[in-house]
């Protein structure tokens, strides 16, 4: 399996298993700054160079954490961050903003949080329904002209939006949830990405941890974990969706690897350009995830997965 790829039409070569950093500051229960920084440093040492954050993760705290961890090592890092989801001073969600003046302000704040002069890949996190995509991408392209941003990306955009955006300024990457229990991008998005030369970045490739087999009931989640409010993590959904884990486990046992490694290898096997950004705070999980590069799924394995997986996931993604 090819361990690296070039993002879109850019010159950025990234490791095809990057690191999603959201859980280091919020959403998935308790976190520890020292442990997170240790994991970030270890990731670089192991050859990971693609790191994903957003200004809304910990409402700035996650970007500041990465700024601290990567000080003096930025030449080894390709960083993606995002704008559009507004948070209040106490973390309250204030909706989406895609207005040009907001985008300029958000970018400046991210640069300050990270302690850098330019962002490698700047994503629109979600589209503000009140602002046309042409206006949003137009404002983002101004940041490229100013040297504050090198390349542009979108997150969770549909095929039509992606085409319209790409017509304004080249889109380097599209980030969307994709895993064995979230396969919607196969319907249209993959074809459009291939046609336009846009790299597909899969977030939550391990189904927010569920596909690793680590979550057998709601009791396995800490108080405050956002998954407790997620439709896929009700007791009924966990019980029904365990059928996904059973299929993965069957393959994992036959290859003497972990369920996480099978789930990630499957995502990467969909084509040679897909990049996955599983999130973790722990070195042990980071090392396990990178072991997916050594898992060779045969045509027989892939056919078995396709045939055996439940046709429907219980619960919406959000």
- Rounded Cα distance, 196 and 194, in Å: 6
Answer yes or no: are the C-beta atoms of 232 and 316 closer than 8 Å: yes
- Rounded Cα distance, 295 and 56, in Å: 34
Q: How far is CA 105 from CA 101, 114, 137, 194, 318, in A?
A: 6, 14, 15, 33, 28
Strand partners, 93: 87
Q: How far is CA 232 from CA 155, 262, 308, in A?
A: 21, 21, 20
- Rounded Cα distance, 239 and 122, in Å: 38
- Rounded Cα distance, 297 and 281, in Å: 27
- Rounded Cα distance, 240 and 231, in Å: 12
- C-alpha angle 259-261-263 in degrees, rounded to nearest 5: 70
Three-state SS at 159 = helix
Q: How far is CA 35 from CA 11, 23, 227, 267, 276, in A?
A: 32, 12, 22, 27, 22
Tokens of 264: 């990630």
Nearest to 251 by CA among 267, 265, 231, 270: 265
Cα of first residue to Cα of last residue in the chain, in angstroms, is 32
**Catalytically active residues, by annotation:** 57
């Amino acid at each position: 399996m090819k361990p690296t790829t070039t993002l879109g039409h850019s010159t950025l070569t990234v490791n095809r298993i990057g690191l999603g950093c959201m859980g280091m500051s919020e959403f998935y229960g308790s976190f520890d700054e020292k442990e997170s920084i240790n994991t970030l440093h270890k990731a670089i040492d192991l050859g990971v160079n693609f790191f994903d954050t957003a200004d809304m993760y910990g409402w700035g705290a996650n970007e500041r954490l990465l700024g601290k961890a990567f000080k003096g090592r930025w030449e080894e890092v390709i960083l993606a961050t995002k704008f559009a989801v507004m948070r209040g001073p106490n973390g309250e969600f204030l909706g989406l903003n895609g207005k040009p003046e907001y985008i300029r302000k958000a970018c400046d704040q991210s640069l300050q949080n990270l302690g850098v002069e330019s962002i490698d890949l700047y994503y629109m996190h979600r589209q503000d329904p009140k602002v046309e995509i042409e206006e949003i991408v137009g404002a983002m392209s101004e940041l490229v002209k100013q040297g504050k941003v090198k390349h542009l990306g979108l997150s969770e955009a549909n095929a039509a939006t992606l085409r319209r955006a790409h017509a304004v300024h080249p889109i380097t990457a599209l980030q969307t949830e994709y895993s064995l229990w979230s396969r919607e991008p196969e319907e249209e998005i993959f074809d459009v990405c291939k046609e336009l030369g846009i790299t597909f970045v899969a977030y939550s490739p391990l189904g927010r941890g569920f596909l690793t087999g680590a979550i057998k009931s709601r009791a396995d989640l800490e108080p405050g974990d956002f998954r407790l409010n997620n439709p896929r993590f009700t007791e009924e959904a966990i019980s029904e969706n365990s059928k996904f884990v059973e299929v993965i486990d069957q393959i994992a046992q036959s290859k003497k690897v972990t369920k996480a490694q099978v789930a990630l290898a499957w995502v990467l096997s969909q084509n040679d350009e897909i990049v996955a950004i599983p999130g973790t705070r722990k070195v042990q999980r980071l090392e396990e995830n990178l072991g997916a590069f050594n898992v060779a799924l045969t045509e027989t394995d892939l056919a078995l997965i396709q045939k055996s997986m439940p046709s429907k996931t219980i619960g919406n993604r959000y």
